Every structure is written in C-alpha cells, then in structure tokens.
C-alpha cells in the first residue's frame, strides 16, 4: 500500500468590517494561505495589516529574484574533489553565486537563508541541478570524461513531495544518468522530523541518486543522525580540518576516519587548505579531499583544466 503525505494550509481572515465584500475577504484569506505555501513548518496564518505590508514587500523581493534567475544572474561554480594518491579529480561540488550587474558576486551565505525562508530555494536548487545536468550533457556529448557533480539540497527541498519526479525529469531531459549527479544534504537538515527525512533520502536513493551528508560534525547530534540516516558518503565539516594543528584535533579526525571505515561509509574531507593538512589526512587513510589547496570553486569553463 502506498501512503502519501498531505499538507493542508489554512488562511484566516477575521471579519471586522462587514462592508468588505465577501469575495474580497475570501481573496485575502486565500492570499494568506498562498503566502505560507513555501514554508515547511507553518500550516496556518491570519490576515492583518502588518502582514499585508510584509506580503507586498515579499512579492516585490520574489519578483526581483525571479527576474535575476530569468536573466541568468545565478551562476553555478564548480569545486573539484581530488583523490590524494593519484591526484585525479574524482568529482566536484556545484556552488551557486549571484552575479549582480552592479553589486558584483554575492556569496550564497548572504542569500540562501533568505531564499529558504521565502520558499524560492526550491526553484534555485532545481535551477542549479538543471545547470549541472546541462554541464554533464555537454561534457559527454563532446567526448569528455564526466565525473559526478554534487548539488546542494536545502531541507526545504526535501519536504516537496514531487522532488524525485522533478529531478528524474531533468535527468531524462538532458540524458544524464543519476549516478552523475550526487545530492548533498546539510546536517542541520536532519534535526527536525527525522522520519520524514529518512523517507525522503530513501526515495532519492531508490531513484538512483547518491546522497551525501554535508558538514558532518557541525551539528549537535552528528552520531545520532549517522545512526538513523541511510547515506552513501559523509563530508567532514571543514572546522575539523582547521583543528588538525593540535594533537587533540588530530585524534578527533583520526577517530572519525576510523569510524567511517568500520561503517564502510566513504568520507570526503572539505576545506583542505595546505599541503600539511592533505598529507595528514592521507596518513590516517582519508584520501578524497576538497579545498583551496587543490582548487577554488570555478566557472565551468575552467573545470577541464583541472581534470
Ligand atoms: P558548503 O556546502 O559546506 O560548501 C562549502 C563552502 O566552503 C563553499 O562556500 C566553498 O567555497 C567553501 N570552501 C571550499 N574550500 C574551502 C577551503 O579550503 N577553505 C575555506 N575556508 N572555504 C572553502 P560557498 O560557496 O560560499 O557556499 C557556502 C554554503 O552555501 C555552502 O556550504 C552551502 O551550504 C550553501 N550553498 C552553496 N550553493 C548552494 C546551492 O546551490 N543550494 C543550496 N541549497 N545551498 C548552497
Ligand atoms: Ca555542500
Ligand atoms: Ca560542507
């Protein structure tokens, strides 16, 4: 038997002035209901004056973002991941940049949290996924060697019931196999509603995608999430690599590397900036690395130079 989660959103309009036509009251309740659609934890809201102003502003912001998306202002940069012993690029991560004509390049930390709140992140992440499929398609059709590219998914994306269908549809359109696009889910996404997340991850893996746990160790319940979540690989949060200068820090990384080996979960070290750090990681058996020591995130044209 199949079960489908059903989310119902309610918008309320309290009648204070009976002169307002009934259709307008219904419209306003409907607007409130629509306004909370992008939010994964709000299921109902009331209409009031402050809300009207806020909604006007949000409509303006979303229109501006949509315009930016249509004008191609969001660019996908790629940062390679390397295998230490062979110095070969094994995969890459897609990292989005907002290139504004006046303001220049805006880093994702400045707009992703806003997009997660206003729901636009769904569109942006699908756009990045599509761009990655386009890059892979071009790489394959030009006879090049395509390595998997990882796309970041926000937890908001995971609550969208048709995510798998949409991702598969994009793969089909660009004739790209699922194994050429990996999905990174940040660890902070795991803290709420773990059962729903387990189901979402299982559905993605059943559809042929590799799912990687991003920023492992940055949250409060890392071991807990590792215990519950069925993932194909784990990315070690870059703060650990920072700590590799002290013996205490090195013990911690060493222990994590050993634990992943016992669990047979591949580990990717992120934020590797120096040769010393790379050598140390290799000495304890962690060979897949990503970081400024090897390469910064770059526009796709530079990728082939690094292969
Ligand atoms: P993240 O997924 O943990 O990405 C790694 C971040 O570390 C990237 O920052 C990358 O440029 C940076 N980095 C890579 N190597 C080094 C290094 O050696 N040293 C240091 N100090 N930093 C390094 P970026 O591109 O600014 O992205 C920040 C965060 O924004 C990402 O963290 C990810 O959570 C989010 N993000 C980026 N692109 C997307 C996207 O398309 N969708 C979603 N939902 N989130 C995204
Ligand atoms: Ca990531
Ligand atoms: Ca990360």
115 CB-side CA count, 13 A: 24
Type and span of the H or E element at 112: helix 112-118
Query: What is the distance, to the nearest Å, from the Cα of residue 257 to the centroid of all Cα atoms in its chain?
Result: 24
Residue indicated by tokens 């990882």: 150
Ligand 3 ion: residues within 5 Å (CB): 214-215
- Ligand nearest the Cα atom of residue 292: 1
pLDDT of residue 307: 65
Give SS3 for 29.
helix
Determine the pLDDT at residue 180.
97
* Alpha-carbon span 196 to 159, nearest angstrom: 8
Per-residue pLDDT at 190 = 60
Ion ligand 2: residues, Cβ under 5 Å:
152, 184, 214
| Mutation probe of ligand 1 site: the residue of 81, 95, 114, 185 with most atoms within 8 A of C-beta | 95
Atom of ligand 1 nearest to the CA of 115: 44
Going from the Cα of 10 to the center of ligand 1, the distance in angstroms, rounded, reads: 36
Q: DSSP letter string over 193-246? A: -HHHHHHHHHHHHHTT-EEEEEEETSSS-HHHHHHH---SEEEE-HHHHHGGGS
Q: Is 130 in the pocket of ligand 1 (CB under 6 A)?
A: no
Which of 108, 150, 215, 268 maximizes ligand 1 atoms within 8 Å of its Cβ, making it the mutation to test the pocket?
A: 108
Per-residue pLDDT at 160: 87
Residue 171 is predicted with a pLDDT of: 98
Q: What pLDDT is recorded for position 112?
A: 92
Among residues 5, 20, 111, the alpha carbon closest in space to that of 61 is found at 111
* Contact (CB, 8 A) for 149 and 135: yes
pLDDT score at 134: 97
d(CA 243, CA 32): 47
pLDDT for the residue 33: 83
| Ligand nearest to the backbone CA of 95 | 1
C-alpha angle with apex 22: 18 to 24, nearest 5 degrees? 105
> Which ligand 1 atom sits closest to the C-alpha of 184?
2
For residue 285, the 8-state DSSP code is T
Structure tokens at 298: 């770059």
Q: Is the CB of 125 under 6 A from ligand 1?
A: yes
pLDDT attached to residue 221? 61
In this structure, are residues 233 and 212 in contact, taking their beta carbons and an 8 Å threshold? yes
Q: Which residues of the chain have pLDDT under 50?
A: none
- The label of the residue with tokens 């660009």 reads 174
């Amino acid at each position: 038997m199949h079960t489908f989660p059903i989310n119902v959103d309610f918008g309320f309009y309290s009648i204070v002035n009976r002169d307002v036509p009934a259709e307008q009251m219904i419209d306003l309740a409907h607007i409130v209901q629509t306004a909370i659609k992008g939010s994964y934890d709000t299921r109902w809201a009331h209409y009031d004056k402050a809300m009207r102003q806020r909604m006007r502003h949000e409509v303006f912001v979303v229109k501006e973002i949509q315009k930016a998306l249509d004008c191609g202002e969001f660019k996908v940069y790629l940062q390679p991941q390397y295998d230490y012993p062979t110095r070969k690029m094994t995969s890459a991560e897609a990292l989005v940049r907002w290139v504004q004509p006046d303001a220049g390049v805006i880093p994702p930390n400045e707009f992703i949290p806003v997009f997660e709140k206003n729901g636009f992140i769904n569109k942006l992440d699908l756009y990045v996924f599509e761009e990655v499929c386009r890059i892979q398609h071009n790489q394959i059709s030009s006879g090049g060697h395509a390595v998997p590219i990882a796309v970041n998914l926000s937890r908001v994306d995971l609550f969208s019931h048709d995510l798998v269908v949409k991702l598969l549809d994009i793969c089909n359109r660009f004739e790209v196999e699922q194994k050429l696009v990996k999905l990174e889910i940040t660890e902070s996404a795991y803290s709420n509603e773990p059962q729903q997340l387990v189901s979402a991850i299982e559905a993605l893996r059943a559809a042929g995608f590799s799912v990687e746990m991003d920023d492992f160790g940055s949250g409060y319940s890392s071991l807990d999430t590792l215990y519950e979540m069925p993932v194909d690989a784990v990315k070690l949060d870059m703060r650990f690599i920072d700590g590799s200068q002290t013996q205490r820090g090195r013990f911690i990384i060493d222990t994590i590397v050993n634990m992943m080996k016992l669990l047979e979960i591949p580990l990717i070290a992120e934020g590797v900036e120096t040769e010393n750090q790379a050598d140390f990681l290799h000495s304890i058996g962690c060979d897949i690395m990503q970081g400024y020591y090897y390469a910064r995130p770059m526009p796709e044209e530079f990728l082939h130079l690094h292969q």
